[in-house]
Amino acid sequence: MTVLVTGGTGYIGSHTVVELLENKIKVIVIDNFTNSKREVVDRIKKITGKDFIFYEKDVCDKEALRKIFQKHSIDAVIHFAGYKAVGESVKDPLKYYQNNLFSTIQLLQVMDEADCRKLVFSSSATVYGNPKTLPIKEDFPLSTTNPYGTTKWMIEQILRDVERSNSNWSIAILRYFNPIGAHPSGLLGEDPNGIPNNLMPYIMKVANHELGTLNVFGNDYNTKDGTGVRDYIHVVDLAKGHLKALDKIAKTTGVDAYNLGTGIGYSVLEMIHTFEKVNGVKINYRITDRRPGDIDACYADASYAEKELGWKAEKSLEDMCRDAYHYIVQNKK
d(CA 151, CA 153): 5
The distance of closest approach from Cβ of residue 152 to ligand UD1 in the complex, given in angstroms and rounded to an integer, is 8
- Interface of this chain with ligand UD1, residues 255 to 294, rule: CB under 6 A: 268, 291, 293-294
Stretch that binds ligand UD1, among 3-11, 35-43, 192-200, 248-256 (CB under 6 A): 192-200
Please, is 72 exposed, middle or buried when counting C-beta atoms within 10 Å of its C-beta (0-12, 13-18, 19+)? middle
| Out of 86, 116, 134, 142, the residue judged to bind ligand UD1 by CB under 6 A | 86
Active site positions, annotated: 148
> Which amino acid belongs to residue 240?
K
Binding of residue 208 to ligand UD1 (CB under 6 A): no
Instruction: Closer to ligand UD1 by CB, 25 or 159: give it.
Output: 159
- Chain residue at closest Cβ approach to ligand UD1: 228
Q: How far is the CB of 76 from ligand UD1 (least distance, A)?
A: 24
Choose the binding region for ligand UD1 from 48-56, 69-77, 130-138, 198-206 (rule: CB under 6 A): 198-206
178 contacts ligand UD1 (rule: CB under 6 A): yes
- Of 154, 143, 145, 142, give the one whose Cα is nearest residue 98: 154
Q: Based on the shown chain and the rule CB under 6 A, indicate whether residue 202 belongs to the binding site for ligand UD1.
A: yes
Query: First vs last Cα of the chain: how many Å apart?
Result: 38
Residue 93 has phi, psi (to 5 degrees) of -60, -35
Site mask, ligand UD1, residues 225-254, x = CB under 6 A? ---x-x------------------------
Cβ-based neighbours of 132, under 8 Å, separated by 6 or more: 140
Q: Which of residues 97, 140, 217, 304 is near ligand UD1 by CB under 6 A? A: 217
Sheet holding 26-31, edge to edge: 53-56, 26-31, 2-6, 76-79, 118-124, 170-176, 254-260
Residues forming the site for ligand UD1 (CB under 6 A): 86, 124, 126, 149, 178-179, 197-199, 202, 214-217, 228, 230, 268, 291, 293-294
